[in-house]
Amino acid sequence: MAVTETFPELPLFDLRLREQDLQAVAQTLRSGWLTMGPRTAAFEEAFAAQLGARHAIAVSSCTAALHLAYLAAGVGPGDEVIVPSFTFAATANAVLYCGATPVFAEIVSREQPYLDVEDVQRRITARTKAVCVVHYAGYPAAVDRLRDCCDARGVALIEDVAHAPSATLDGRKLGTWGLAGAFSFFSNKILSVGEGGLLCTDDDDVAALARSRRSHAMTSGTWDRHRGRTDTYDVVALGYNYRLDEPRAALLLSRLEGLEADIARRRELTLRYRELLAQVPGLIVPFADADVPGSSCYVMPVMLEREGTQSEVARLMREHGVQTSIFYPAVHRFSAYRARFPDVSLPISELASATELTLPLYPHMSEADQDRVVAALAQAVAT
């Protein structure tokens, strides 16, 4: 049965695979070996090299990488992990997987929508095991100051780098500032292959734990047994099935070659967006032009100055064929979180969530497409 998809005229994300990407997957399918094996290992090596990290461990999602990172930081029942609420739910969900408590901290402002270091400091207690920083939209958070703060208090720093492959702060890649970094290769991400993730670390013990737990903490894998390395195995801890598979590893390896060119184009488009959006009254455009070179420019967020207009502006843009999204509804306001943590109040995160709209951005977007998005936005905001 043929499956057809319908997309908006100007979608938020649009993925175009090159012929060589398709060939890499086809070759893998023909090889007859589909679960984690040599292509996964090759991708890990290439990813670690471009990142400048000692270890890269490919897993089934960024959520899985966050779970393993928290476990490696020793997070367990009774512990707390400080996270932003202005993020995707996975950052906090993975804390709950460990039986620990996410403690939500405030962002700096709508112009700088990342963790406020002073607020994090205030929320550190004897139970705090880790802080997880999110590099929202691909822009570096104040990870240098957070690291100093975490080091001073003996707390692990984890980076949720789902948005920020190859982004840097002071020339150092994001994901390499703390104990571990967690990347996403989900469908709408910069290095997308449908589903996938990766944990990076310089710490040998963290790497060993992640490698073991991603495959049920078995002492040997199916690929080892296939090559006759061993014909049995032990299970030495509680592990998970967080394995990546070979077709996606092959696609990642092939797409990694185009990563820097993709990001360079995203930066050009972002700077042009910023120039156009500066002419539109009623908007706050987070970050500054000077932040763009260090960012991977994953998405183009804007904040509407007027509260209460978000859904109407989104609706008017949809009428013009332009898809928008909200990055992100505050996690502590979701039903499942309100039920557990009814007293959390984070006014800046709540305001950001109630006024944010994410505009279409993808490397092959044309300048005419951008002009259309900005014209539709200007008209909708003025209505």
List interacting residues with ligand PLP (CB under 6 A).
61-63, 87-88, 90-91, 134, 160, 162-163, 184, 186, 197
Q: How far is the CB of 266 from ligand PLP (least distance, A)?
A: 16
Q: How far is the CB of 233 from ligand PLP (least distance, A)?
A: 27
For residues 251 and 248, give the distance between their C-alpha atoms in angstroms, rounded to a whole number: 5
Q: How far is the CB of 90 from ligand PLP (least distance, A)?
A: 4
Q: How far is the CB of 371 from ligand PLP (least distance, A)?
A: 28
Q: Is 357 within 8 Å of 378 (Cβ atoms)?
A: no
For residues 256 and 258, give the distance between their C-alpha atoms in angstroms, rounded to a whole number: 5
**Is 173 part of the annotated catalytic residue set?**
no
Instruction: Please give the structure tokens belonging to residue 134.
Output: 């999110």
Residue 200 β-bridge partners: 56, 181
* Segment holding 152, helix H or strand E: helix 143-153
Nearer to ligand PLP, 162 or 381 (CB): 162
Name the catalytic one among 67, 110, 189, 248: 189
Nearer to ligand PLP, 113 or 294 (CB): 113
Q: How far is the CB of 134 from ligand PLP (least distance, A)?
A: 5
Distances, alpha carbon 8 to alpha carbons 281, 330, 360, 365, in Å: 26, 26, 11, 14
For residues 185 and 40, give the distance between their C-alpha atoms in angstroms, rounded to a whole number: 14
Query: Would you list the DSSP string of 230-272?
Result: -S---B-S---B---BHHHHHHHHHHHTTHHHHHHHHHHHHHH
Q: How far is the CB of 330 from ligand PLP (least distance, A)?
A: 13
Nearer to ligand PLP, 184 or 358 (CB): 184
What is the number of other CB atoms lying within 10 angstroms of the CB of residue 305?
Answer: 13
Token pair 């779970």 is found at 67
Nearer to ligand PLP, 253 or 381 (CB): 253
Nearer to ligand PLP, 85 or 370 (CB): 85
For residues 69 and 238, give the distance between their C-alpha atoms in angstroms, rounded to a whole number: 15
Strand order in the sheet with 283-284: 283-284, 300-304, 356-359
* Segment holding 59, helix H or strand E: strand 55-59
φ and ψ at residue 139, rounded to 5 degrees: -95, 140
Q: Which residues are catalytic?
A: 189
